[in-house]
Structure 1
Amino acid sequence: MKLIGFGDCCVDYYIQKKLAFPGGNAFNVSVYANDNGIETAFLGTIGDDLIGDHILKCAKLKGVDISHCPIKHGDSGRAAVNIVNGDRFFEENYFNGKHGVGTLYPPMLSEIDLRYIEGFDLVHSSCYAQVEDQLKRLRLDDLLVSFDFSSEERFRTNEYLSQICPMVDLALFSCEGMKKKELLNFAQRVQKFGCKNVLMTMGKYGQTLLTNEGRLYEGKAKLVKAIDTMGAGDSFFSAFIATLLNEGWKKNKSLSDKEVYDAFSAASAYSARICMVEGSFGMGLPIEFTEP
């Protein structure tokens, strides 16, 4: 089985430690799914700077094919992070709103790219990838599409959901703080916009999946004393997808009880393991950025 991450990559810059760790949702999913036995690739814009070189090096070391990544002149994406008692907090203004090449030049799929993607079973992207206008070009007969909507309300408006959901086979939403009835109502709302399966994570309170057939499943989180929660959600979703693919999930195929519970179990265990690693998956680059 093969998965390709499409869209965002960056480094998470740990201010106190002066280390830049590779990350970004679509890039993380490619790395994590590879860890879980899936052949993977990543297609996203990368800068020709020191950070970009490090991202490309890490991808190769992790076994992720980056042969179709456009390389643009300029800075690769970066986010500033502080870690407090194991939890990560983004410092939104540290880089003064400066955008990297991934934001300035989101990947535009060529015919060669599309023929390449046809060789994969699933393409994954996210609300931060800025590739919404490209997703409709991925509506291939046998290609599954997963999408991470994150936790922000701006990605839950009727306008945004109506644009993205018809193209998505499995959606992930971060829903910490929502009650059980709220979760069901929310998932049903998402499905009305065309999304087939809706996975909602609630941190230490576990996960809920509403399938295309209306079946509701609940999973449990594996609790650990985290060193760093960076990548906790991405790693969970990646292992969940990888488990389903390894058990034969295909386009328009209903998920069985066993497949769902196997995916919950594998994803919780893998996410807990990632929480014991600095950065999304380690491989920090010593570098010092100063505030603009």
Structure 2
Amino acid sequence: MEPVARFFRKFIPTVLLTLLGALILTNGILTYIVSRSIIKPLYALKSAAGRIREGDLDHSVQWQRKDEVGQLGTAFEEMRIRLKESIGDKLQLEQNRKELLASISHDLKTPITAIQGCVECLQDGIADTEEKRQKYIGMIAGKTTDMNRMIEELLLYSTLDIGKLPFNFVSLDAAAYMQQAVDELKLNPRMSEIEISWRNDAGRPLFIRADREKLHRALLNIVDNSLKHMRQRPGMLRFELLEEDENTVAIRISDNGTGIPAEALPYVFDQFYRAEPSRSTDAGSSGLGLAIVKQIVHEHGGTVEAISGTEAGTAIMMRFPADRPAPVEKGDQP
């Protein structure tokens, strides 16, 4: 048994040392793997979170992994993108607010200055005849009307912008509605030198879901915008009702005005945008007319587009989802 005993005395320590070495090696390999697969990504997330805390939202975390750690990285990246968009929207909103205040101040200053000048003339006795006094009083009344119109449009735009204006949608026969609107326009004294034409290309009733009052406001704003840019006489306004496809009904209003430069077309529906270089406020223009049109059409689930060219007139195309009224049963007919 002595040889066996000597063998075991040598073998057992060797086995123990081998097992201990294998354990150390395995532990090192596992630690390295865990470090690469879990700890290192966590440190990367910590670094990215630190950058976000410092305001750097441009550092992305992109891992091509499908496990839980990869899902965590994907969720973190989505959070970063949404946070960046949210902050960008907030900054844009703040910039729009500043531009809005600046534009309001600029546009209201002109009529206020004119009113102040007329009042000073009346106070200083410059208007020494009844004819002059009536002239200055008329100017004050006109500028006051312009200011009232500008403030009304600003209030309407703000209410539309925050989604607080209620809409009463009904199924509307667009052909009959447009015929009535055109007939009313022809009776308007402002249209005495304007040739107005109307055509229903479909030749039959076309229905849309619309708020009659708000749609009428959009039509009037487009007409007002056309009148401000008409230099030719007689002026021309053309109204068309189109069925572009089975799901879309379009209202097209075109004129023979001065037109809009191609570079200005993408911005004509922005608030306070004017294609002219000057910031004139002729006829009490607030710069919100077409912006209100865009808001109203979007509330109807539609789109609006301007088509124009310099000295080629302008066409405003409003597209609405078609409405299919439920068929009337024979027993329901009056």
TM above 0.5, one fold?
Answer: no
Normalising by structure 1, what TM-score?
Answer: 0.22
- Higher helix residue share: 2
Whose Rg is larger? 2
**Does 1 or 2 have the higher relative contact order (CA < 8 Å, sep 6+)?**
1
